[in-house]
Structure 1
Amino acid sequence: MPTNKKIPSKKESSQSKNGVQKPETSRKSQDDKTTSEGHCPESQPAILSTEDIETVNEVSKLSIAHEIIVNQNFVVEENYLPQGSLENKFVETMCNAFWDHLKNQLSSTPPDFSCALELINNIKQILVSLLLPRQNHLRNEIEEALDMDLLKQETEHGALDVPHLSNYILNLMALMCAPVRDEAVQKLESIKDPVQLLRGITQVLDLMKMDMINYTIKSIRPYLLEHSIEYERAKFQELLDKQPEQRIHLFLKSCLIHGMQESLLDVPGGLLFIEPELAELGWKFVNLMHHNQQVYNPYYAEILTNIISS
């Protein structure tokens, strides 16, 4: 591909005394080169630490718990991507690629069961996660029927019976699903193609997971309503213990500048749940500062000035 060559200006084509051309390299051109080769700090995405990610997750849990408390109609619903959208096309392409790959593996001679084995293991984990704590007998049955070590041995001998396993999983789903999913499970029983059947199983299992989440929400809502204040305060205190926030420093600085009474009238956002604890901390902090000011006066005036201006 041809490149565009820069036509040298009169100044750039000036020569030295020995006749050798001496092009001038401006500082701007060097900066441009540096910019083109590197990356502007402003354009780089922020990198979250593990602690930041954990904090975001905890805040999300707290927000969901609060929504459950204030919204009696709160439920988890299916996430439908807009038809024809880029996200929808991407998800469909990736899903079709996976199921096509599984079909090719099972159709090969001899069959390759590696992908099917991994899929069955994932289905097993989902089924176990849908069990209630008291369903130990059914849990043991699933562990025995879908023993992954035993199934792996069967794949090594080319004897993994995928249709049989799929039918067993269907029977479990019919036993475990909510009544609203009975029709969806029954429709799966008429699918003969093993790959399409497994695909349908995973789709209905996603719905069953959603049903279990909503059942859990319904079960814990009375408890959250009864203990909402204590729960939210405790969870927020956990966040503060894990990652002290700048807002506490701002509050303490406000106590020094404006006094405790005025600072308590304007508590920084996100700290209302711990206002009593914050007030106690503020009084102790102010008393300590006053004590230190008496002990270290006149040097303390400069120290306070540095703290307030920081």
Structure 2
Amino acid sequence: MMNSLIKIIDKFKDRKILVLGDIMLDKYIWGDVSRISPEAPVQVVNVLKETYAPGGAANVANNLASFNSKSFMVGTIGKGDANNILINELKKRKIDVNGIFIDSNRPTIQKVRIIARSQQLLRVDYEKKNYVDANIENKILNFISGKINGIDAVIVSDYAKGVVTKQLMEKLTALCKNKGKMVVVDPKPQHKKFYKNATIITPNHSEAHQMTGFAEEEISDRDIERMGKKLLKDLNSNVLITKGEKGMSLFEKNMAVTHIPTFAKEVYDVTGAGDTVVASLCLALTSGASFKQAAIIANHAAGITVGKIGTSTVNIDELKKSIENG
């Protein structure tokens, strides 16, 4: 098994993946805390540095780039400084930005995290959640139509911030089916109906509960199986439910069910773990992996990323080492 997984990973560098979704800029303000403010009962952070990273769907593209594959980012940004910073961060990582369109009605989404002593103290969000208009939707679809023959698959990274619409998903799914391309979806529960006929969806256990109407307390393997089978039936898609420290559960259209234990050694930060899962899963599937093999690879990748602080990625060497160490 190990050798076959390594051979699959060796093919990642040849893959070309298009990522559609809600593009974000992650900003980190790093500092020290030594006193309480006299103005209010809050900590005072002495800022030491500020760093930036691609977030949301852009972090999926970033993960693909860290695996040495070619990624094409498709979505919207607003105008202003955050726009320029985000585009520069993507270009630094050799991510194609020609499918990013400026939407003057929406800001560039930002997640600003304040961190001191390796602990996140606060997060500030800049965003609007209204759907993109028909003009932007058409630009996105036209761009994807022009790229579809030269890519291996499409990842839809839906954060429910307005880029992924029902009409866009219907047209995208039909286009990919016609061209024989996989559609791998990191979903949001409120858009469940958008994902019908996708190749595979990757909800976490909380999202799976919301998408199926099961109570949050229902977390046994039997409960997970009921949820997975319901999603598979409702959406006609394979399903990979991520369960944090409990690993993952895979539900295939052939009715096979596989529970995979976690490979995480320590969990420091789950930020972006879902992005790592969907990126590595898609790369594995387009590199000849079975759904089970792809899920095992994605589980290893997730186990690495949760051991890092902040929006992080995994590289090929780290992934191979994790698999070799079992």
- TM bucket (normalised to shorter chain) is under 0.3
TM-score after normalising by structure 2: 0.21
Larger Rg, first or second structure (1 or 2): 1
TM-score of the superposed pair, with normalisation by structure 1 = 0.21
Q: Which has the higher strand share?
A: 2
More helix per residue: 1
